[in-house]
Structure 1
């Protein structure tokens, strides 16, 4: 995780939301970033950018519907942890929610692949830098 340089503040901020979908066996869903996107091939938690005027929860519900085709109620999103990192010249704030209940079967609409993994298996996956510090917290939560 990179630390912002106080003498050179980030030009913009980027708020991103993600979900740790947990199945009945205690496994987490991760998706692989497709070719053509930054960080292609890396595994990440499903989610995306918070658009202007959206709450983080509304954005995550929208992103999960778009990316996975699942419906989630706001009451089923439990705030879990966050990460703060530099992404180029922007400051990234990643808000991670845990979700154990949704409607539908996840399908990779905007990812190369989906995988259900145990929290400890996340350590062996290539993941974006902002996601890595969240693994230990998820391991304790799940």
Structure 2
């Protein structure tokens, strides 16, 4: 099934927080299958609503025949190495039955257009571990991203 012509991408608002949270939760469970209890405790719908309302994140849905088939979330960053303000992809998820059908590309195209409109200097993304999810890095590299090293984290 090849869907590119029937896909539309729209910006989500605070009123769409439950759907943003539902799709992001699916992504997080795919990345960490045992994280269900931790994700439930995080109250993702409330977080999504608050962050969307405060414009701490921006979200876009991919739709096909009225069905939500993907989401991408972005946030604003700033750093000297980046030449000022830039954006980062926080999450990108495509429903499994719609992968390899250009849904991810459509979401990324919308994110790039939004970044340009915001005046961001670049768009960055942290990809999941290459050994476990090689297709994620291949997707981003095929869409013009350059691998600059891995990202580390430490909880506060």
Q: With structure 1 as the length reference, what TM-score do the two structures score?
A: 0.28
- Flag the structure with higher helix content: 2
TM-score normalised over the length of structure 2: 0.26
Bigger fraction of residues in strand: 1
Q: Which has the higher contact order (CA 8 A, sep 6+)?
A: 1
Of structures 1 and 2, the larger Rg is shown by: 2
